[in-house]
């Protein structure tokens, strides 16, 4: 018998090399997460170059892309998406990109790009709807809605796999961020809560329904697309009530 890192094995077996499969080797690197981070950074640079300066505010990109209820009501429907890629300053961008990197590198290699994209964009639309419901007359930007949705979905993914979210640190991270949301002025409460709720719904469908019951993922992804469309329509309808 020969001593190996995995115990005693016969000489023939010890010479065999067993390929180790990781999450990255199954679903690939978190390239979508890196792409989303790059888009956010490029959008911020465009805001600065377009007259917004280091805080990005006031330039042409900000004026035409930020979420603002009356503008959405007047036909600027793209704002419910574009606002999720704009940020009010370097610190705002840095915080959101840190969490996007942290959650993206944790989730995407495990669940794959399609499910990750569904969580991200449905959460973003949920954040836009929440912001329009709570503060339709305010100008709102940031990927926070998508990030909160990813946190909610990640917690459900951990629970579905038998991992305590509190032991992982993700539970307390969510609680702390919710506390910041309600305690610090100027933060979009509706955007954060809306994104968290939308991400929670998608996460429940994917991990509590599909994974636990071993259902095909295609119907769940289709349901997420329908949910995203409904959220987008709701954004337009809610914004219509803000028309002056």
pLDDT digits (tens, 9 = 90+) for 123-143: 999 999 999 999 988 999 999
- Nearest CA-CA partner of 238 in 146, 136, 141, 121: 136
144 is catalytic: yes
For the stretch 230-236, contacts whose Cβ atoms lie closer than 8 Å and that sit 24 or more positions apart, written own/partner, are 231/122, 231/125, 231/126, 231/128, 231/129, 231/198, 232/77, 232/80, 232/125, 234/129, 235/72, 235/77, 235/80, 235/125, 235/128, 235/129, 235/132, 236/72, 236/73, 236/77, 236/80
Whether 27 has a pLDDT exceeding 60, the answer reads no
The active-site residue out of 27, 144, 188, 234 is 144
Phi and psi, residue 167, nearest 5° = -70, -30
The pLDDT tens digits of the residues spanning 163-182 come to 888 888 899 999 999 999 99
Structural domain boundaries, residue 140: 28-240
Say which residue, 49 or 223, is predicted with more confidence: 223
Tally the domains of the chain. Answer: 1
pLDDT score at 9: 53
196 inside domain: yes
The active-site residue out of 33, 71, 92, 192 is 192
pLDDT (average), residues 190-205: 96
4 inside domain: no
Look at 15-29, 77-91, 203-217 and tell me which has the smallest mean pLDDT.
15-29
14 inside domain: no
pLDDT score at 169: 87
3 inside domain: no
Q: Residues of the chain with pLDDT > 90: what percent? A: 68
Whether 96 has a pLDDT exceeding 80, the answer reads yes
pLDDT score at 193: 96
Rounded Cα distance between 173 and 177, Å, is 6
107 inside domain: yes
7 inside domain: no
163 inside domain: yes
Look at 22-36, 83-97, 99-113 and tell me which has the smallest mean pLDDT.
22-36
198 inside domain: yes
Element (H, E) at 92: helix 90-111
60 is catalytic: no
pLDDT score at 54: 72
What CATH number does the domain containing 197 carry? Answer: 1.20.1540.10
pLDDT score at 3: 52
């Amino acid at each position: 018998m020969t001593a190996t890192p995995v115990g005693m094995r016969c000489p023939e077996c010890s010479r065999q090399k067993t390929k180790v499969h990781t999450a990255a080797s199954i679903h690939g690197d978190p390239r979508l997460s890196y792409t989303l981070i790059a888009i956010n950074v490029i959008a911020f640079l465009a805001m600065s170059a377009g007259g917004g300066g280091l805080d990005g505010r006031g330039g042409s990109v900000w004026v035409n892309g930020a979420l603002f209820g009356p503008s959405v009501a007047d036909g600027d429907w793209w704002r419910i998406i574009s606002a999720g890629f704009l940020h009010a300053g370097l610190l705002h961008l840095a915080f959101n990109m840190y969490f996007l990197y942290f959650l993206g590198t944790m989730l995407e290699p495990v669940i794959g790009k399609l499910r990750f994209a569904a969580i991200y964009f449905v959460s973003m639309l949920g954040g836009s709807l929440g912001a329009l419901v709570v503060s339709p007359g305010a100008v709102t930007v940031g990927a926070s809605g998508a990030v909160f949705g990813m946190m909610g979905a990640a917690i459900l993914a951990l629970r579905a796999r038998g991992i305590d979210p509190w032991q992982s640190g993700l539970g307390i991270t969510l609680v702390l961020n919710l506390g910041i949301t309600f305690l610090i002025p100027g933060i979009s409460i509706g955007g954060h809560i809306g994104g968290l709720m939308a991400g929670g719904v998608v996460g429940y469908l994917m991990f509590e329904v599909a994974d636990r019951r071993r259902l095909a993922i295609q119907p769940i992804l289709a349901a997420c697309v329908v949910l995203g469309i409904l959220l987008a329509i709701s954004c337009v309808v809610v914004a219509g009530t803000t028309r002056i």
